[in-house]
Structure 1
Amino acid sequence: YREFYQCDADVVGSDSLLNEIELIQMIDEVFNRLGIRTTIKLNNRKVLAGIAELVGEPEKIVDITVAIDKIDKIGLDKVKEELAERGLSAEAIDKITPIITLSGSNEERLAKLSELLAGSETGLKGVEELREVMEGSKQLGLRAELELDVSLARGLNYYTGTIIEVKARDVEIGSITGGGRYDNLTGVFGLPGVSGVGISFGADRIYDVLNTLNLYPADIAGAAKVMFTNFGVAEAAKSLEVIKKLRENGISSEIYPDCAKMKKQMGRADALGIPFVAIIGESELAEGTVTLKDMTSGEQKSLSVDELVKALA
């Protein structure tokens, strides 16, 4: 997974939190369509900056975030050890501990976070941004679980606001999507002061989740939903007309490219796992009908073109 494919969605040029809400809706819709149950974890970089301010170590924000981001992997005790190794005092670690071990509902966590970060203007700004994004997403309705996770840092120091990470609930595989707000990143490309927020779907990991849970739809196994036979020039021409109409209605269709014996054509459909074969021969051509064969049951029906569209839709 050190080298991987990803599919990105970004909004550049606006600092509105509506963009975060829309990206969360996109994440929810994508994984709902794929059938993957997910937890969308949220945090805010300003909350992490607030924690560093609270313990009097604002310059150690990177050390703090790198350590607490590992809590799921190494546990609280090891995180405390790492914080100490990075130069934080015992008193500072004691202040950080209740923040990164918050429990309860998201509303309860936000309320507690507001109390704990009351001395940090930056931290409270982060809490308010989190509240707006979470409430906005909740109002639109999510199939995924939405979880405030104060330990979430993603180890990427260019995030300036919202931080997003998505986990599959039924497979232990790490993050399958992540992202956040990166208000200063465009400066690297000669465009300073432009706000941006984006997410990346981890294609390789999502592929592996689909494999592990056997979630690939059965209807993508075949080359098409229906294959038309080919019994001559006139028959093939009519078949292409019908295929055009089927495709316009979202039904994947193909024609056997050569005029050949029925057995050979049926063998191709069977080998490719195509569930239906449509036959236009002399009689069908004369009557303006299509014979549809179900390759699983062997049942055949004579249908008009409109009836064929309805039967396959």
Structure 2
Amino acid sequence: MATIKPSIPKGTRDFSPEEMVRRNYIFETISSVFKKYGYQEIQTPTMENLDTLTGKYGDEGDKLIFKVLNSGDFLSKVPTEKLTSHSSQLITSAISEKALRYDLTVPFARYVVMHQNDISFPFKRFQIQPVWRADRPQKGRYREFYQCDADVVGSDSLLNEAEFVLIYHEALSKLGLRDFTIKLNNRKILWGIAEIIGKPQLIIDMTVAIDKLDKIGFDGVTKELIERGFTKADIDKLKPVILLQGSNESKIQNLKSVLKDSEVGLKGIAEIETILDYVLALKSQTSDQKSLNLELDITLARGLNYYTGAIFEVKTNEVSMGSIGGGGRYDDLTGMFGLKDLTGVGISFGADRIYDVLEELGLFPEASAESTRVMISNFDQGAERYALPLLRKLRGAGINSEIYPSSAKLKKQLNYADDKKIPYVILIGSEEMEDGMLSLRNMKNGDQQKLSIEQIIATLL
């Protein structure tokens, strides 16, 4: 039999033990903040029924769904006319009834509808699971990646939006980030802007263009707007709004003047003011944390076909990186499954990008690289027998511990501990077995001291 060269599918990754410790550090930090704010964890299956997912992400999104072939002889029940047709969609629907999860949002909507009689509304859930997309792999874009979402459905209170601002601030601060901006906008404000320039039918075109302001500048935005059907007079009206500067308060006052004739625009402004008031009231209770950088950004658009109210985006200012989080309010998430008018709001953390940021800034704590706190040496059978009750005591005290599994030279054992980044080693020789005082070596600086097992436990805890 020919030797098969080991490989993994493009766009997927292996994670080393060190990487897993760091990834779990991110997930555990974020989930601890979710729980603090009353969110409960759920999980949904890796696979969903294909018809659950299709038609929810647009034509382009549907093309990126990984289909799963029916089990057994999947061709046997397919009518000949479908097999001989030139429509791949007809064939696919006949041989595949399931698909890998494309995101966490649609499965969450399906979950809410299926369990609506078992859950209490408002329903606050978070979910940290992998998703799959048949996208073209490139740097920073994978076919398998984790999403880290929190949503609350069944509540139209803007207190939820304010708490999401605080969740972003607290979680990212706990991860060590010091300079990041939480951007806030409202879909209704964007509707109002399109309304006052007389182009409500071109709202998508307008927002797609102004969303690129950071990348292509105002001249580039102007060129794109003209290509999309806007006039110079329209752009003259848009310019002061697009280039709005100053504090959040001054931006709001300017917008009130610009949108004075737009009912929907003024409603969006009122919602922003309410969110800012809630944030201020809640933030005063957490004044020990770093200052919160919350910016009203009128050019923020984010998935306009999806969101209906407040929208969020988070960017780090310490590293050149795209957004590391985003989300917003939606008014009919579960309508696609027959449960109408259930409003909700949700956010997502970009875990892979956050990992890259923390790595570049050297923000992973040293302890996060540890899996084992202390290793006991093993020089011979007598030392091994003596060590086993000590190992039991260490683990009983909640200390991650291991014994080198077979007798070996000291250098080999210490190299093993170094490779695993184990910070302490207990050395047990004949002298230690006689007097019960064990040699504890600090692997970082080489210092060594004689301690009882009780003293070692106290030192390591």
| TM superposition score category, shorter chain reference | 0.7 to 0.9
Provide the rounded CA distance (Å) in 2 between the counterparts of 1:241 and 1:287. Answer: 18
Which of 166, 191, 212 does residue 360 from structure 2 map onto?
212
Report matched runs for 1:129-148 at 5 Å. Answer: 129-139=271-281, 140=283, 141=286, 143=290, 144-148=292-296
Return the offset for 1:312: 2.5
Cα distance per residue 1:276-302 (max 9 Å; x no partner): 113466776777665422112222233
Provide the rounded CA distance (Å) in 2 between the counterparts of 1:227 and 1:134. Answer: 52
Report matched runs for 1:1-313 at 5 Å. Answer: 1-3=140-142, 4-36=145-177, 37-139=179-281, 140=283, 141=286, 143=290, 144-230=292-378, 231-247=383-399, 252-279=400-427, 290-305=438-453, 307-313=455-461
Provide the rounded CA distance (Å) in 1 between the counterparts of 2:154 and 2:323. Answer: 27
Residue ranges of structure 1 left out of the alignment (5+ in a row):
none
Contact 2:184 2:310 in 1 (8 A): yes
Contact 1:65 1:155 in 2 (8 A): no
TM-score normalized with structure 1 length: 0.88
Contact 2:391 2:401 in 1 (8 A): no
Shift in CA distance, 303/38, structure 1 to aligned 2, threshold 3 Å: same
Provide the rounded CA distance (Å) in 1 between the counterparts of 2:218 and 2:269. Answer: 23
Contact 1:280 1:289 in 2 (8 A): no
Return the offset for 1:156: 3.6
Cα distance per residue 1:196-236 (max 9 Å; x no partner): 11112122222222232232322333442322334323421
Cα distance per residue 1:5-34 (max 9 Å; x no partner): 322122222222222222222211222122
Provide the rounded CA distance (Å) in 2 between the counterparts of 1:176 and 1:70. Answer: 17
Between stretches 200-209 and 280-289, larger displacement belongs to 280-289
Provide the rounded CA distance (Å) in 1 between the counterparts of 2:166 and 2:360. Answer: 25
Secondary structure at 1:165 match in 2: strand
Return the offset for 1:49: 0.9
Provide the rounded CA distance (Å) in 2 between the counterparts of 1:41 and 1:96. Answer: 20
Cα distance per residue 1:69-122 (max 9 Å; x no partner): 111111112212222222223332222211121111111112222222121121
Cα distance per residue 1:125-172 (max 9 Å; x no partner): 111211222232244156342111001002442101111111110112
Provide the rounded CA distance (Å) in 2 between the counterparts of 1:181 and 1:120. Answer: 20
Provide the rounded CA distance (Å) in 1 between the counterparts of 2:432 and 2:272. Answer: 64
Contact 1:235 1:281 in 2 (8 A): no
Q: What code does the residue aligned with 2:186 have? A: N
Secondary structure at 1:51 match in 2: helix
Provide the rounded CA distance (Å) in 2 between the counterparts of 1:229 and 1:81. Answer: 70
How many residue pairs match? The answer is 309
Provide the rounded CA distance (Å) in 2 between the counterparts of 1:22 and 1:128. Answer: 17
Provide the rounded CA distance (Å) in 1 between the counterparts of 2:175 and 2:280. Answer: 21
Contact 1:235 1:282 in 2 (8 A): no
Contact 1:269 1:277 in 2 (8 A): yes
Q: What code does the residue aligned with 1:301 have? A: Q
Provide the rounded CA distance (Å) in 2 between the counterparts of 1:190 and 1:282. Answer: 74
Shift in CA distance, 292/136, structure 1 to aligned 2, threshold 3 Å: farther
Contact 2:394 2:401 in 1 (8 A): no
Residue ranges of structure 2 left out of the alignment (5+ in a row):
1-139
Provide the rounded CA distance (Å) in 2 between the counterparts of 1:52 and 1:83. Answer: 12
C-alpha RMSD over aligned residues: 2.5
Secondary structure at 1:219 match in 2: helix
Shift in CA distance, 97/309, structure 1 to aligned 2, threshold 3 Å: farther
Shift in CA distance, 25/286, structure 1 to aligned 2, threshold 3 Å: farther
Provide the rounded CA distance (Å) in 2 between the counterparts of 1:15 and 1:284. Answer: 67
Provide the rounded CA distance (Å) in 1 between the counterparts of 2:151 and 2:365. Answer: 28
Secondary structure at 1:232 match in 2: helix
Provide the rounded CA distance (Å) in 2 between the counterparts of 1:254 and 1:19. Answer: 45
Secondary structure at 1:10 match in 2: strand
Provide the rounded CA distance (Å) in 1 between the counterparts of 2:248 and 2:430. Answer: 68
Shift in CA distance, 229/240, structure 1 to aligned 2, threshold 3 Å: farther
Provide the rounded CA distance (Å) in 1 between the counterparts of 2:198 and 2:260. Answer: 14
Provide the rounded CA distance (Å) in 1 between the counterparts of 2:429 and 2:254. Answer: 74
Contact 1:23 1:199 in 2 (8 A): yes
